[in-house]
Each structure stands twice: as C-alpha cells, then as structure tokens.
Chains A and B, each alone.
Chain A
Amino acid sequence: MSTQSPSNVSSQSQVVIPVLEREKLILNNRSLSWISNKVCGIIENKQPALWWALFIPCALMALIGVVGGLSYQVFSGVGVWGNSNRVMWGWPIVNFVFWIGIGHAGTLISAVLFLTRQNWRTSINRAAEAMTIFAVMCAGIYPVFHVGRVWMVWFLAPVPNSNAIWQNFKSPLLWDVFAISTYFTVSLIFWYLGMVPDLATIRDRATTKIRQVLYGIFSLGWRGGNRQWSHYEMAYLILAGISTPLVLSVHSIVSFDFATSIVPGWHTTIFPPYFVAGAIFGGFAMVLTIMIPARYIYGLQDLITMKHIDNMAKIILLTGTIVGYAYLMELFIAFYSGAKYEMDAFTFRITGPYAWAYIAMMALNVISPQIFWSRKMRENLWVIMAVAGCVNAGMWFERFVIIDTTLARMFLPGDWKYFSPSAIDVLTFLGTMGMFLTLFLLFLRFLPCINIAEVKWTLPESDPHYGEDANDKVKRVAAYQKELS
C-alpha cells in the first residue's frame, strides 16, 4: 500500500480511467426544445393514417359492444349473459379482474418507480397512467351492470336504502367498492397533476385560439416558477407515497372477494400477493403492447429507448416467475393441507373439462416470459410483442381458471355445470377492448403522451452542477487506484 496522498495525483498525469457510463435515457443528445417539439408535435400535427385505421374500428367496436351490448343487457336482463346457476360470476367478473389487473402497472410505474428513483420511468409513466385510468373505467362497467338492475347500483354507495338498511361493511364486496373508487380517484389526481406543466407547454406553443383557451384552462395558469415547483414536487412525492400502498391494497382487496370465502380453490392466504404480482405482470404486458406500436407510429425511439423496453421485459420475467411460483405453491398447499375438497378442486382444475384453460394459463404466463432470459430476445421487438400478447391472454385465462372453474364445481354435485359464455358476453368483452383502445388513441391525439417536464429533468445538462466537476470524477478514481496499488 502506497502512502502517496491523493493531492499529488492531480498534478501528476492525466490518467484516464474507463468508468462504465450509465446507459443514456434519451438518445442522440437531444435538446430541451427538441423534446417539446417532438411530444407536442404529436398533438399539433395531423394524425398519421395508421391512427385513423386503428381509431375507426376501435370506436365501432366500442359502440357496438359497450353501448349496444349493454343496452341490450339492460333492456332484456342479466340472463343475456352466460352466467347461470352456479356460475353466477361468469365472464363479467373475470373481465372485471382482468381490467383491474391491467390498471395496476400505471400507478406502479408512476409511484413505486418514483420512490425507488428509477428515472427511466419518465418516458413511459404518462401513457401507463392513462392506461390505468382507462382500464379501471372498463373494469368498472362489469360490476355495475352485473348487479342486474343497473338503476339500483346506488345501493353500493354508503347510504341507507329505503328500508334504512345499511351496507354490510364487513363484506369484501363493499371493500372492493371503496378500493376501486379510491384507486380511480387517486390515479386521476396523480395523472392530472403530473400533466399540468405539460399542458402549459402546449398552451404556450398554441397557434390556434381554441387550443390556447382549452389547454390554458386545464393548465390552470401554470408558470413554472420554482416557488410552484417546490410545492408541486412535494405533492408529487406525497401522491407517490400514498399510491404505493394503494396499488398494493387494491388488488389485495379484489383477491379478498375470493380469499375470504370458504370455497375450495379460493380460500387461500397466498391470494393477495399472488394477485398483486399477477396484476403488475399483466399491466406491464399491456404497457408494452400499446407503447411499442405508439413508439413506432410517432417515431419516439429516442425517448422510449431499447433500454426502457429491456427494463420492462425484465419486470415481466420477474413477475411472471413470481406468478409461476404462486401457481405451484397453491398446488403444493392444496396437497399439503390434506383437505379433501381443496385437493379435489385443484385436481378438477388440472384434469377436468377445463384443463385447456389451466394449460393455457401455465404456458402463456409462466413459460412464455422465460424467453426473456436471453438478451437477444429482449432486443427483438417482435418477440416482445408476441410475449406481451401471450401474457395478456394468459392473465385472462388465469382469472377464468380461478373464478369460473371453481364456481362450476362447488360442494353440491347438483350445482355442477360446464360454463360457456353467450354471444353477448363475447360482444361486451370485445366492446370494452374497443373502448380501452379508443380512449387510448384519443389520449395520444389530445394529451402529451410523454411527460415532457420530467424527461427534460433527466437530461444530464439539467443538473445544476453539470460540467462543473467533469474531471473530478476521473481524478478521484485515479487517486483511489493509486492508493490501492
């Protein structure tokens, strides 16, 4: 060990030590105004033909499926769906859990990745939050119309009915009402508050009066003063802080709908973490499914880089493996419990008439993401899109397996039934898909789909100490190495 003091080193030689740089979040050294131009340009310019080619069929699908399908359901009664004794929950609740799950990635990206200082979130958080809002809207449709008489849906609200009977606050179904409505409200606040500075950017660039007035109203007169930023950043931090437990609680509470019952196959303590992991898994798959085409259509390759996609693929691999662990653990606990009904429920799932759904779930959710162990596969957008599609389908099958196969084989053999959906079931589900995509396309058209202010903040030159101690780092490393030798 040499006793040379570090002060000598700087005067000696310019030792250039190769320091591994972090991969850049924004490529090609883009400037601040380039970012504003790029993101605002999407709103200001004419939409590409591909936008219209997607928008028209999606809007039609939403119109026929959601407006048409649900009107028919309201006029004819809930029997137009395939729900029947005993599979009362049928497709609507499967779809509800499916959409709620998709809604989880947005808040996870905005809140959890914010608290853990994952700066790569800035390029994707806005679109993911929008996705959350729209997915929760699609989810909300199902329980509301599933109650049968939709005009009685106010019974869910905590007000006494005409017989002065209050809701049962001990019921997980009521917890669900509180959880979902809170989640929707807080996500909306998070989304809107995060958008205010960007709406101001569009306001200041506006060339037409209408745009100036509308974006002016929604940007609330934002000026970007540091006295505003200071409170704003605190608000953002608190929202991230409260959204993190919120996002974990919502799917836990959704899983309580099942786990607090005594139905074999549902009555398990692993449900809350298993549902949350599954929700993040499915949500990230949906983010990739819609962001990769959007990135291509609008040429956002410098903002949403392969690094972002790689990170998301890794999260899918991780959560997919957690979900796989949960599937196996569920089987093991059923076996280990020695409870006959529990074991029967799982044997039925795997070998019964619903085996196809169980195999699809396992293959799509657990096996397909394992391809992401290979770096080459994480760099191939076609593979990523294919896996994301598999995961979206797989997560739907998971909910189908959990809900419908369990209800189809309860305690009394007289209740046993093979469930099949009706045409209206399929139509409504396609309708919500159309509605989701329509809303997302409108979002791309009218709102800044990338968080302009935060992306600017991640640029190296946005650091107030940028360029001040460029040589210091090299010197420090050199001094340290000298000391070691």
Chain B
Amino acid sequence: MSKEAKIYGYLAEFANAQEIYHAAEKIRDAKYSRWDCYSAFPIHGLDAAMGLKRSKLPIFVLCGATLGFITAISLAYITQVIIYPTVVQAKPANLFTIPAFFPIMFELTILFSGFTVLFGVLGLMKLPCFHHPLFNSKQFSRVTDDGFFIAIEAADQQFSAEATRELLESIGGTNLEVVYDEVVEEVQSKA
C-alpha cells in the first residue's frame, strides 16, 4: 500500500453477535454517522442499536403496485371496451366487465411490485458495487463466513485517527486495521 493512498477508515473485528450489538450501541451514542456493522447474517435488533431508520422500500413498492394496477385496468378496459370489444358468451363489454379483469389487475399489481422490490432494494443497498475499499482488507473476506466487523469511515465528521481507534479498542474491537481506498490511489498514480 503506497503512502499517498487515501484512508477509507478503520476496520475492527468483534467476537460475536452479542459483542457487535453492544459495540454498535456505543458507536451510535458517540454520534458517528458514516459507519456500518458487517456480519454473515442479519442480527436481530441491530437496526435500533445502530440508530437506523426504517427502510423506505415500502413507499417505492406502493408506487410500483399502484402503477401495476393502473396498467392492468387500462390495458384490459381500453382494449376490451373501447378499442375492440370481444363479445363472448353474451358477456357485457362495458363498465360491468371490470370484475372479469380482477385476476389480471391482481397479477400485474404483484408483478410490478416484485420488480419494484428488486430494483428498489438494489438501489437502496447501492448494489451492484464491484469495487469497494473494504474488499482490500484480507480479513474482511471472513465477513460472509463467521466474521463480525465494524468499519468507521474517515469521511465521518467525528473521525479522528486517535479517538476513533481508542473508541474501537475500548468497546472490544480486535484486529484493528486501517483500510485504504485503492481506487483513489490508482487515479492519483495515473495523474
């Protein structure tokens, strides 16, 4: 790692789910904002321990579902009643035909919601993201196995090389490591 590489932040390991939970509470109380807990599975109650707000995904999905519903009813109504009324078995082709469109309305509502969930959650999680400074850390590869990590970014207002290190050590962080932003380093070397 060259010296001009920009520091991404500190990475510290914790022993288990209980430790990372209590550590998260302390970092939250120390008013940090750009940090995250990394684990192989979602830890119950960690959102509150980190002071995270509820995900905004349901609002997106509501919009997607509404769009699906409107698409279905316009598709069925415009084609069946306005453009090309198909009269089969003396079934009406007017406003009273709408009950026959319920299955289509239901299915398209679900289909559009499904797509909104997929693209909404990827947007909120900021994925795909194939390059991330944390991937430069060797020990971080254990995060998807049995590692529990907390990373505090240098971009945080509260961040200071000394105080943050002390905080992480005082709350039980081990294998403390400075993570560098290699992407920036590459840009610098090219320039």
A interface residues (Cβ-Cβ under 8 A, vs B): 31-33, 36, 158, 160, 164-172, 174-175, 178-179, 181-182, 185-186, 189-190, 193, 196-197, 200-201, 203-205, 216-217, 220-235, 238-239, 242, 245-246, 249, 253, 256, 452-454, 456-457, 461-468
Contacts and interface: CB of A to CB of B under 8 A. Distances in A.
B161 interface: no
A268 B54 CA distance: 46
Contacts of B101: 169-170
Contact of B43 (A166, A174, A201, A464): A464
B58 A221 contact: no
A225 B111 contact: no
Contacts of B37: 225-226
A170 B100 contact: yes
Contacts of B55: 230-231, 233-235
Contact of B121 (A170, A232, A249, A468): A232
Contacts of B127: 196, 220-222, 228
A165 B134 CA distance: 57
Nearest to B108: A178
A78 to B, nearest CB: 23
Nearest to A158: B75
Given A186-B114, A226-B36, A464 B44 contact: yes
Interface in B113-138: 113-115, 117-118, 120-122, 124-125, 127-132, 134-135
A189 B146 contact: no
B52 interface: yes
A249 B111 CA distance: 13
Interface of B: 16-18, 20-21, 24, 36-47, 49-50, 52, 54-55, 57-58, 61, 75-76, 79-80, 83-84, 86, 88, 91, 97, 100-101, 103-104, 106-108, 110-111, 113-115, 117-118, 120-122, 124-125, 127-132, 134-135, 141-146, 151
Contact of B46 (A197, A204, A226, A454): A226
Contacts of B129: 220-221, 223
Contact of B79 (A169, A172, A231): A169
Contacts of A158: 75, 79
A245 to B, nearest CB: 7
B111 A235 contact: no
- Chain A contact residues: over half helix, strand or loop, or mixed? helix
A464 B57 CA distance: 25
A235 B121 contact: yes
20 contacts: A158-B75, A174-B104, A182-B111, A185-B115, A186-B114, A203-B144, A223-B132, A223-B135, A225-B36, A226-B36, A228-B127, A232-B121, A235-B121, A242-B117, A249-B103, A453-B41, A457-B41, A463-B17, A464-B18, A464-B49
Nearest to A36: B145
Given A31-B146, A231-B124, A461 B52 contact: no
Given A186-B110, A454-B41, 16 more contacts: A36-B40, A170-B97, A170-B101, A178-B108, A182-B107, A189-B115, A189-B118, A196-B127, A217-B130, A224-B144, A225-B38, A238-B113, A245-B110, A456-B41, A457-B41, A463-B17
A226 B39 contact: yes
A452 B40 CA distance: 9
* Residue with the greatest number of chain B CB neighbours at <10 A, chosen from A170, A181, A186, A221: A170
B110 A242 contact: yes
Contact of A179 (B97, B103, B120, B122): B103
Given A178-B104, A179-B103, A464-B21, A32 B121 contact: no
A85 to B, nearest CB: 21
A219 B171 CA distance: 32
B118 A230 contact: no
* Residue with the greatest number of chain B CB neighbours at <10 A, chosen from A216, A223, A462: A223
A200 to B, nearest CB: 5
B110 A246 contact: yes
B43 A226 contact: yes
B83 A175 contact: no
A178 B100 CA distance: 13
A432 B79 CA distance: 36
Contacts of B114: 182, 185-186, 189-190, 239, 242
A158 B147 CA distance: 50
Contacts of A466: 17-18
Contact of A462 (B41, B80, B113, B135): B41
Nearest to B16: A461
A229 B103 CA distance: 34
B89 to A, nearest CB: 9
A453 B132 CA distance: 21
Contacts of B40: 32, 36, 197, 201, 224, 452-453, 456
B38 A204 contact: no
A159 B175 CA distance: 61
A249 B18 contact: no
B86 A182 contact: no
Given A242-B114, A245-B110, A235 B120 contact: yes
Contacts of A200: 144
A178 B72 CA distance: 10
A256 B103 contact: yes
Nearest to B85: A166
A167 B49 CA distance: 54
Nearest to A249: B106
A168 B57 contact: no
Contacts of B24: 226
A175 B45 CA distance: 42
A169 B104 contact: yes
Contact of B144 (A190, A204, A463): A204
A230 to B, nearest CB: 5
Contacts of B49: 464
Nearest to A172: B103
